Amino acid sequence: MTDVIRGSETPLLEIRDLRVSFGRRGSRRSREVVAVDGVSLTVGHEETVGLVGESGSGKTTVARTVVGLVRPDSGSVLLDGQRLGPAGRRPAALQRAVQMVFQDPRSSLNPRMTVAAMINEVWRTHPGSAPPGDRTTALHRLLDDVGLDPSVAGHRASELSGGQCQRVSIARALAVGPRLLVCDEAVSALDVSVQAQVLRLLVDLRRRHRLSMLFISHDLGVVHQIADRIAVMHRGVLVEEGPAGDVLGSPRHDYTRSLLDAALELNTGEGIEA
């Protein structure tokens, strides 16, 4: 767990009474499925909040609503007090401010494009995000920032390892200068040793770029290594929230206790705080 540097008492991200449902086709009529039911949650400036729960708990729906890929039935999502609507309708500055790192790095990268082409496409499609000066120099600096050799710029995703692909995904998100990273199971597709490397990278990037993070995971051991606070979801409802040490050390809800009991090993996070 890392130390929080709070830039303001007002949270950067505020989720208020969020409700999201989906229609499901049955044999006779559609049936509403409530994926998120009245969730309220905040993420402070330069804070990492871990949102945990089993598959189907609604945590990914919350993440996709925050980045504007899902429209809620009711409730609101605000960034520094500004309401966040659907991704395509957000002002350019708000589009840049909230970026997502997806679970499967290979499927989230265009297999036909080189790393350089993907980053340059991000700069073209987000007005005001392109760095001043030489683009190649800026690209190499960005790759170095996520621990990649500049030679990676000429490679395609198929030529890279899973860990390298996820670093490229993180670089692509950082390219527009975000304030909030939403990481949806961002290390679950990686080997354990590579997971630790990417978690260290995220902790380091948060400090250097003064980022906030909403970190989605089903793995309490992973969340323990990166989160300042933990929020637990079960069947679309937020059942517990608090400082990571409190939630993991003295869980109040039966569901949280069951998640802890199911964990084979709780990684203490040794070496992550460097």
What's the CA gap between 271 and 274, in Å, rounded? 6
Distance in Å from the first CA to the final CA of the chain: 11
Percent of the chain residues past pLDDT 70, beyond the cut: 90
With 0-12 / 13-18 / 19 or more C-beta atoms within 10 angstroms meaning exposed / middle / buried, residue 142 is buried
Edge-to-edge strand list for the sheet holding 30-43 = 30-43, 13-25, 74-79, 82-83
Q: Copy the structure tokens of residue 106.
A: 């290979």
Helices (H), the chain: 59-66, 92-97, 115-125, 135-145, 162-174, 192-209, 220-226, 244-249, 254-262
What are the tens digits of pLDDT across the range 190-217?
Answer: 888 889 999 999 999 999 999 999 999 9
Would you state the pLDDT for residue 121? 93
Q: CA Rg, the chain, in Å? A: 19
Residue pLDDT tens, the chain, 274 long:
444 444 447 899 999 999 999 976 554 556 788 999 999 999 999 999 999 998 889 999 999 999 999 999 999 999 999 999 998 889 999 999 999 998 887 888 888 899 999 999 999 998 788 888 888 999 999 999 999 999 999 999 989 999 999 999 999 999 999 999 999 998 888 888 889 999 999 999 999 999 999 999 988 888 988 999 999 999 999 999 999 999 999 999 999 988 888 764 444 444 444 3
Nearest to 243 by CA among 47, 18, 77, 45: 47
What's the CA gap between 269 and 123, in Å, rounded? 35
Helix or strand run (H / E) with residue 87: none
For β-strands 212-217 and 180-184, DSSP reports them as: parallel
**Please, what are the domains in the chain?**
13-88+98-107+179-262 (3.40.50.300)
Average confidence score pLDDT of the chain: 88
How many helices (H) and strands (E) in the chain? 9, 10
What are the tens digits of pLDDT across the range 140-154?
Answer: 999 999 999 999 999
For residue 229, give Cα distances in angstroms to 92, 243, 262. Answer: 29, 4, 20
Q: Copy the structure tokens of residue 176.
A: 């527009």
